């Protein structure tokens, strides 16, 4: 797969009207109303035509709410008729939604899979229906993608985000070794370990430290399923068990990091003084904490840029473009966010 930058100046300009979705604790509204499962965008606009089905793995995910809002803004602005479906974190539910979209003869699909392991089934289904499809946020393998030439993935390379998390720790005055014993002792709060993003962020955050020649010690690794409450619970338990031995808390996303921060503050620890905390996504709530010194940093997972790239790829497919094997993944770069630049993303 090759790295392509698909976010054009025009697309980014159009996205400036969007603001990052507020990062509530585990719930969010649908794209247009508070209706639970399905939202229907308005028709009209100047440049687009056709009907688009969008499947989101679950609506009450803070990052995917930002992404979904960005998609809606772009697609509506271009005049597409678009329906968003909430997979409710249930792959069987999402499979039914995809089949329903196919029965409705939508012109294109944008799918955020509930489970990466379901990629083969999803790809076979859209290929049989001959529907141009863009997969987002959860990346299949290149071999899986190669089964269908009207299929493209738009997202970020999670290895880059993990590396940047490690670099945030390396950029601290003591490189994460707060107690000076020559070893960085950390806990890892992982997303869904079935998700390749969780796998790569977990691996490459620590790899950045070891590649720099530093010794590390994993005190604990627990799955938090991208959830703030679970992040809080895991951090609370680990702080009670390991106490001051914990020097770094790695979280695969910001929602879990904010939960961990709540536990850190309850334990009367002070981020950037006696413990470090990093996340991924650069949600508004996390940016505020970085600015206020309550998080060491985060990594911008550019929902707006990815949404713009997804729509651009979808329009290319609708225009007849096909993708050769090995060229079906389009990546948008992550950005390292520190106290010095966090205000630029608010």
**What SS3 state is found at 51?**
strand
Tell me, what's the pLDDT at 47?
Answer: 56
Lowest mean pLDDT among 43-47, 92-96, 335-339: 43-47
Tell me, what's the pLDDT at 6?
Answer: 35
* Cα–Cα dist 302/70, whole Å: 11
* Cα–Cα dist 267/22, whole Å: 26
Tell me, what's the pLDDT at 220?
Answer: 98
Q: Is 0.85 surpassed by the pTM of this model?
A: no
Average pLDDT, the chain: 88
Question: What burial class does residue 292 get, using C-beta atoms within 10 Å of its C-beta: 0-12 exposed, 13-18 middle, 19+ buried?
Answer: exposed
Tell me, what's the pLDDT at 144?
Answer: 96
Query: Which residue matches tokens 């294109």?
Result: 108
pLDDT digits (tens, 9 = 90+) for 15-64: 333 333 333 333 222 332 223 233 333 333 335 789 999 999 999 999 99
CA distances to 202, 251, 303, 339 from 309, rounded to whole Å, are: 26, 26, 10, 28
């Amino acid at each position: 797969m090759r790295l392509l930058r698909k976010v054009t100046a025009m697309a980014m300009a159009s996205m400036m009207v969007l603001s990052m979705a507020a990062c509530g604790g585990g719930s969010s509204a649908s794209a247009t109303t508070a209706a639970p499962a399905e939202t229907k965008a308005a028709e009209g606009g100047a440049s687009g035509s056709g009907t688009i089905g969008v499947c989101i793995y679950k609506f009450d995910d803070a990052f995917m709410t930002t992404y979904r809002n960005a998609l809606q803004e772009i697609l509506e602005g271009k005049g597409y008729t678009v329906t968003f479906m909430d997979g409710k974190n249930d792959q069987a539910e999402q499979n039914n939604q995809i089949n329903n979209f196919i029965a409705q003869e939508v012109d294109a699909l944008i799918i955020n899979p509930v489970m990466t392991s379901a990629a083969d089934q999803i790809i076979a289904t859209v290929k049989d229906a001959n529907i141009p499809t863009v997969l987002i946020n959860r990346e299949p393998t290149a071999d899986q993608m190669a089964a269908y030439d009207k299929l493209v993935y738009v997202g970020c390379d999670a290895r880059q985000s993990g590396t940047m998390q490690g670099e945030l720790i390396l950029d601290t005055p003591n490189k994460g070794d707060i107690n000076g014993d020559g070893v960085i002792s950390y806990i890892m709060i992982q997303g869904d370990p079935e998700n390749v993003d969780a796998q790569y962020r977990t691996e490459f955050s620590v790899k950045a430290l070891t590649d720099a020649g530093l010794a590390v010690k994993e005190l604990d690794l627990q799955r938090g399923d991208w959830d703030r409450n679970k992040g809080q619970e895991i951090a609370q338990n680990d702080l009670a068990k390991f106490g001051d031995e914990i020097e770094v808390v790695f979280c695969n996303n910001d929602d879990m990091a904010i939960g961990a921060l709540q536990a850190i503050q309850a334990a009367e620890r002070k981020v950037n003084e006696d413990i470090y905390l990093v996340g991924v996504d650069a949600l508004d709530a996390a940016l505020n904490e970085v600015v206020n010194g309550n998080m060491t940093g985060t990594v911008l997972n550019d929902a707006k840029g990815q949404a713009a790239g997804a729509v651009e790829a979808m329009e290319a497919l609708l225009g007849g473009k096909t993708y050769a094997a090995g060229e079906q993944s389009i990546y948008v770069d992550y950005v390292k966010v520190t106290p010095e630049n966090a205000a630029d993303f608010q």
